[in-house]
Each structure stands twice: as C-alpha cells, then as structure tokens.
Amino acid sequence: MVSPNDVRGLPESDLTRIREMPFLYLKGFAMGSADVVPGVSGGTMALILGIYSRLIFAIKSVDLESIRQVFTLKWGEVFERIHWMFLISIFLGGVSAIFFFTRVVALPVLMHTHPEIIYGLFFGLIAGSILLLLKAVGDVGWREVATVAAGAAIGFRIVTLVPTDTPETVLFVFLSGSLAVTAMILPGISGSFILLILRKYEYILGNIALLGTERTMEAVLVLIPFGLGMVAGLVVFVRLLSWLIKRYHILTLCLLVGFMAGSLYVIWPFQEREYTEIVDSQEMPIQDPLVQELMEREQEGREPERRRPEYWKAGPVINPEDPETEQKVEVIHVRRRLISSSPYWPDWTAPSSDDRFEGGWGPLYGGLGTMFAGFLLVGYLGRLMRRKNTDGSSDGIGLP
C-alpha cells in the first residue's frame, strides 16, 4: 500500500485493479477533452484528477527492455513490466474524448463561438486545483515559495510568447513533436499552443487532413518525423519528470502548480482576442452539394458564422456562359487562427453596453457561472481524494 505522501513505490508495478479501469477511462476522457482545447494541457487535468504521478511512471514503464520482451514474445514479462491496464484505460478515454469533442460536440467550435463559457469552466477548474494542490503541499518555506514563483514566471513567459516564422525541415518538425508532447505532459502548458508558437499547428493539422488523399505520401513524410519527435520527447522527458517526482516530490509539485498559475493569464475567459484568417479557394462544380447549400444560404440572406474556427462561402460563378451542368463556382474557405489575446476586466455594471461582449450580459454571467461550476467540481474531487487518502489508497498526490 502506498502512503499518501510517498511516490517511491509507484514505478515498480502497475497499481491498477480491474474495478478501477472504468474510472480511469473517465479520467482519460477528461484529459483528452483538455487536450482538444488550445491553451489547456491534459497534464493539468491529470494533476487535478490525482493521477499525474501514476501517468508519468506508467509511460516510463514502456522502455527498451519491455520493447525487447515484445519482440522476443515474452508476453508474461511484458504484462508484468508495463502498466498496461492503466495505460489502456487512459488511452481509450483520451481517444474517445478527442472523437466526441471534435465530431459530436465540437468543443473547438464552441471555444470560438462561446469563448467566455468554455474558458470560464477551465479557469475555474485550474484555479480550484491550484488551491487544492497548494493545500497538499502543507507547510511551506522559502524554497517552496520560490519554486512556485519560478514555475509561474516560466509558465507565463511560455503562454505569452509571440508566434514566429520557422522552417519546415525534417529536423525542425522532429523538434516540434518533441516540444509539443513535452508541453502536453506539463500542467498549464498546451502542446497545441507550443505548435502555434512554432507556427507548426496549421502545418501538422493540414498534413493530417491530407491522409487518404492523393497526397497521402507527402503527408506521411511530414508526420513520421513529427511522430518520432513525440516518442523521443516522451522517452527523455518522462524519465526526467519521474526522477524529479521520486527525489523532490514537494518541490516538483510546487513547480507544476506554478506552471498552472502562469497559464491562468491566457485561460481567463474575458479576453480581447486577435485572429488571423487563412483564406483558400477552389473551383467546384455548381451541382456539388456544398456549393448548392452555400448558394441557397446566400439567396436567403444568411451570413456565414464568422466566429467559427472555419467557414465556407460561395464566390462568383467562374463560367456563367456555359451550360448550367458545366458551370463552376469559386468556393472560399476561411480558417481563423488565434495569434494573440490580452485579458480585460469586464464592465460588471453595464455588460450589455460593453462592445467586447457580442451577446450582451449572457457571455459575462455565463463565463462567471461556468467558472464557479468548475471551482465547485474541483472541490468535490478534492473531497473524494481526501476520502481516498484516508483509506490509505492514494496514488501519490498526497492531499491532506
């Protein structure tokens, strides 16, 4: 049994039991949901949910020796060495969340159309978890305070970096994958945000979209070094984190809390956000269903939702003199990418007159409501974790 404040026993074996796997699946779902959101890290959610230490050591369990055992078909030793029940549960939950929040409930779209409500929820979750984790630290001295301050300064600096032009060489794509996966593991720092800073977010997602088309091989040649960079980042960085957690548990926790605190600057729901628009166009047959829908919408006077992350609109007919069956229409595809944001203090007394709110008082009180809900949710999770610690079954977070 692992003591609430002892993580030294965690890396030796998988502590997961079959009855725990459904709950780990839900935690993986929460982590995947956070990874979908630019600016929010899955590592943050892992820390909030009390599985951060286990996640680090579970990833570390997949090492060269375990890979050798796989190739030599020593399955018994593989399952004994790798934390497979934990990793499978988290992985399935994460993949399910990414599918759900990109196909069923389009969370990236809601972040553009209702940013105050979505970011308010995550601000409440992160702010509440900071207080919860600071309570877990217990008595603090100057070293703990300095570590939190240093983590906050580093986190703030990273999330406020301005994107810059970067090359598209194999080496830089490899480096981008390494840095992105490192940020995904660190609480408070988003891997997708790192890709935005490196100007590789659009580049990588664009190549993923090319899979299955006539340009599949071109995309594969880009995604292979990116994937190898992610693997290399995991191999190196996870081992560093596990070493820090084992030897400097409290100081490492303070540093991670600082990262989370530094990220609050860009998670604050009331932001003046600046976007850049990437415009592409292509000629499509007038009989195409998308063209017909866009032309019908234009005839009815319905404007495209310009706050969405991407939208389409119909341009002019390219060859109006040809027969209607052969006519083509220019279809314009607009993608909006966030390039900068700066927080502001809303006008509490007259939100409907604040032109920074497109929806009047709704975004203000909606953002405050979800912020409060997130804060309460973390408090509830904290109670469950304290009850778990009382039973002597903590995973190493050490909540009092």
SS3 assignment, position 346: coil
Task: Report the C-alpha gap between 372 and 121 in whole angstroms.
Answer: 8
Task: Report the C-alpha gap between 192 and 158 in whole angstroms.
Answer: 12
pLDDT band at residue 232 using 50, 70 and 90 as cut-offs: confident
Q: Which residue has better confidence, 105 or 164?
A: 105
Answer whether 49's CB lies under 8 Å from 30's CB. yes
pLDDT band at residue 64 using 50, 70 and 90 as cut-offs: confident
Q: What's residue 7's pLDDT?
A: 43
The DSSP call for residue 8 is T
Q: What is the model's pTM? A: 0.67
Task: Report the C-alpha gap between 53 and 119 in whole angstroms.
Answer: 26
Of the candidates 186, 53, 44, 5, which has an alpha carbon nearest to the alpha carbon of residue 129?
A: 44
> Quick one: tokens of 362?
């709704």
| Residue 359 pLDDT exceeds 90 | no
pLDDT band at residue 226 using 50, 70 and 90 as cut-offs: very high
Answer whether 94's CB lies under 8 Å from 42's CB. yes
Answer whether 199's CB lies under 8 Å from 188's CB. no
Of the candidates 256, 264, 194, 201, which has an alpha carbon nearest to the alpha carbon of residue 55?
A: 256
∠105-306-39 over CA atoms, to 5°?
A: 55
| Residue 2 pLDDT exceeds 50 | no
AA identity, residue 94: G
Indicate the domain borders of the chain.
Answer: 10-270+358-390, 275-343
Q: What's residue 163's pLDDT?
A: 61
Q: What's residue 193's pLDDT?
A: 64
The model's pLDDT over 71-80, given as tens digits with 9 standing for 90+, comes to 877 777 777 7
The model's pLDDT over 145-175, given as tens digits with 9 standing for 90+, comes to 899 999 899 888 877 776 656 678 899 899 8
Query: 297: burial class by Cβ within 10 Å (0-12, 13-18, 19+)?
Result: middle
| Alpha helix segments (H runs only) across the chain | 21-36, 42-48, 52-60, 64-71, 75-81, 84-99, 107-113, 115-137, 142-159, 170-185, 191-197, 201-210, 216-247, 249-267, 289-299, 361-390
> Quick one: tokens of 107?
């969370």
Please state which of the ranges 32-41, 238-247, 319-328, 371-380 shows the lowest mean pLDDT.
32-41
Of the candidates 179, 371, 153, 163, which has an alpha carbon nearest to the alpha carbon of residue 274?
A: 163
| Residue 188 pLDDT exceeds 60 | no
With a pLDDT cut of 70, the percent of the chain lying above it is 82
Q: What's residue 111's pLDDT?
A: 76
